[in-house]
Amino acid sequence: MLNKTLLAWSLTCAIVSLALSGGRAFQVPASQQPEPRQPSEVSLIIGDRIGTPPRFAVPDFLALSDDPETIAAAQTMGEVLWNDLNFEREFYMIPRDTYASIPGATSITDVSFDLWRELGTDGVVIGTVRRVGELLEVQVRLWNIRGQESVFGREYTGSANSARLYAHTIADEIHQNQRGLKGIAQTKLAFVSDRNGESIVGPVANRILKEIYFSDYDGYNQQRVTVNRSLNITPAWSADRRAIAYTSYLRGYADLLVSFIYEGRLASPAAGSPDNQNWLPSWSPDGSRLAFTSNRDGNPELYVMNADGTDVQRLTDNPAIDTSPTWSPTGAQIAFTSDRSGRPQIYLVGVDGTGLRRITFESYCDRPTWSPAPFNEIAYSSKTGPVHDIKIFELSTREVRQITFGIGSNESPSYSPNGRHLAFTSNRSGEKQIYTIARDGRNLRRITRLGNNEMPNWSR
């Protein structure tokens, strides 16, 4: 009975994993339909105590080749995988130094079940890394310590110099397999930085330039996107994670630019000019449209257009400021900031221009960012005193909860693609830096350190 249910669940995992990975070409018999996860099956997921996170351990991966790079990669993979699994808080991650005394595995099936049980471990991830020519072969298994059985196994082969990416991939697959959770370990953060300290002569004083960068979700692998020695701000990832749209003053006025970062191509879909300036691009969830602010009709108003710049439609018509658009998860509505009441507040409107309504009644609100499904909430920055804090408006209950509390000024929230985390800017350290935080306000992490960094945007 146990094995049959386990078989069904494992197939479910495999199928769900396939669906989410964009059609990885495994062949799964059509007759074996995925079964929904039932409460009675929870015991088949590691950790059968409902409500209590299972206790997981991730020792260093076992290097099956004795060259220093493989040994280092094996250690990195263990560390990064532990961090990635810890980030979602679905498992209680046992601190790594507490199992230093447990002898390392000599193979992927060599698990000291008694020692791990003694440590109170429910699940342990055993990985091996072998160097084959210029490639790494990585095998990983998740062992259920109580049942002394492997509940998850994968093998990867690829580049020898991206140990972190192996770990991120494994973390996302374990979250999917064990918790039905779409992990974010492979996602990226785009942001604005002045770290180069470059400046240009301004009409009165020199001006510090800002360029677009991106990094892994945990702040590693920071990479520069723009090199145009100008002001580049408000980056926004395209839905396919291959392009970043942003506001650039490259040509002496504000316009939208789109950097296709793997092609070295640049587009300016809004076709700006001194009389047609454009700010704050926001991609529709399906990646086909861009919402943005423009002064083309003599006042900051909202517009929507196709990603290639065709089919421009005006969304607002009001003598006040309308700006900072964000799309609802279905793409049917847009939240934005307007000062038509006298101070900036958050409003909603259908993409057809109908159904306008105001949702905030505070002193000063801006930069709404609509959560991805399954959540239906809007994070924004709110002036709570001398500074701004991040708040979240829950659309179904109309309740507002606050997740930062006046430590520095906190602005520019951006949701992770699974909706469980936010990135934002805070100057709590003295400079502006990027932080991530869970949507319940816990798990604050600083992501950047070099120069000033702001306006994060979390990739899909």
**Residue 264 touching other proteins (CB under 8 A):** yes
**Cα 242 to Cα 263: distance, rounded to the nearest angstrom:** 9
Q: Select from 46-54, 93-101, 336-344, 392-400 the region that touches other proteins (CB under 8 A).
A: 336-344
Q: Which long-range contacts (CB under 8 A, 24 or more apart) does 252-256 make?
A: 253/277, 254/278, 254/279, 256/281, 256/290, 256/292
**Residue 1 touching other proteins (CB under 8 A):** no
Residues touching other proteins: how many (CB under 8 A)?
A: 107
**Element housing 2 (H / E):** helix 2-20
Q: Given candidates 130, 296, 343, 460, which one binds other proteins under the rule CB under 8 A?
A: 343
**Residue 350 touching other proteins (CB under 8 A):** no
- The interface mask with other proteins, positions 28-47, x = CB under 8 A, is --------------------
Those residues with Cβ within 8 angstroms of residue 434's Cβ, 6 or more apart along the chain or in another chain: 189, 191, 219, 423, 424, 425, 446, 447, 448, 453, 454, 456
| Residue 351 · residue 362 · CB < 8 Å | no
- For residues 208-227, which are near other proteins according to CB under 8 A? 208, 210, 214, 221, 223-227
Q: Select from 4-12, 55-63, 353-361, 416-424 the region that touches other proteins (CB under 8 A).
A: 4-12
- The interface mask with other proteins, positions 224-263, x = CB under 8 A, is xxxxxxxx-xx-----xxx----x-xxxxxx----x-xxx
Q: Which is nearer to other proteins, 82 or 213 (CB)?
A: 213
The least CB distance from residue 264 to other proteins, in Å, is: 4
In this structure, the strands spanning 313-314 and 301-306 are: antiparallel
Number of other CB atoms surrounding residue 206 within 10 Å: 10
- For residues 408-437, which are near other proteins according to CB under 8 A? 411-412, 425
Closest CA to 172 of 143, 128, 144, 140: 140
Write the DSSP assignment of 198-234 as a string of letters: -EE--SSS-EE-BEEEEEETTS-S-EE---SSSBEEE
- The interface mask with other proteins, positions 121-150, x = CB under 8 A, is -------------xx---x-x-------xx
Q: Which is nearer to other proteins, 96 or 242 (CB)?
A: 242
Q: Which is nearer to other proteins, 149 or 394 (CB)?
A: 149
| Residue 429 · residue 408 · CB < 8 Å | yes
Task: For the chain, give the longest Cα–Cα distance.
Answer: 78
**Residue 364 touching other proteins (CB under 8 A):** yes
The least CB distance from residue 393 to other proteins, in Å, is: 16
Q: Given candidates 323, 384, 418, 448, which one binds other proteins under the rule CB under 8 A?
A: 323
Q: Given candidates 34, 53, 104, 153, which one binds other proteins under the rule CB under 8 A?
A: 153
**Cα 443 to Cα 140: distance, rounded to the nearest angstrom:** 27
**Residue 197 touching other proteins (CB under 8 A):** no
| Residue 156 · residue 169 · CB < 8 Å | yes
Q: Select from 8-16, 89-97, 116-124, 348-356 the region that touches other proteins (CB under 8 A).
A: 8-16
Q: Which is nearer to other proteins, 139 or 418 (CB)?
A: 139
- The interface mask with other proteins, positions 84-123, x = CB under 8 A, is ----------------------------------------
**Residue 26 touching other proteins (CB under 8 A):** yes
**Residue 151 touching other proteins (CB under 8 A):** yes
Closest CA to 44 of 147, 180, 172: 147
| Residue 293 · residue 300 · CB < 8 Å | yes
Q: Given candidates 1, 22, 31, 40, which one binds other proteins under the rule CB under 8 A?
A: 22
Token output for 29: 């018999």
Q: Which is nearer to other proteins, 369 or 418 (CB)?
A: 369
Token output for 149: 């059985």
Q: Given candidates 274, 288, 341, 355, which one binds other proteins under the rule CB under 8 A?
A: 274
Q: Which is nearer to other proteins, 95 or 274 (CB)?
A: 274
The least CB distance from residue 415 to other proteins, in Å, is: 16
The least CB distance from residue 460 to other proteins, in Å, is: 11
Number of other CB atoms surrounding residue 455 within 10 Å: 26
CA distances from 328 to 282, 356, 368, 418 (A): 11, 14, 11, 14
Q: Select from 91-99, 305-313, 319-327, 434-442 the region that touches other proteins (CB under 8 A).
A: 319-327
CA angle 273, 277, 278 (to 5 degrees): 130
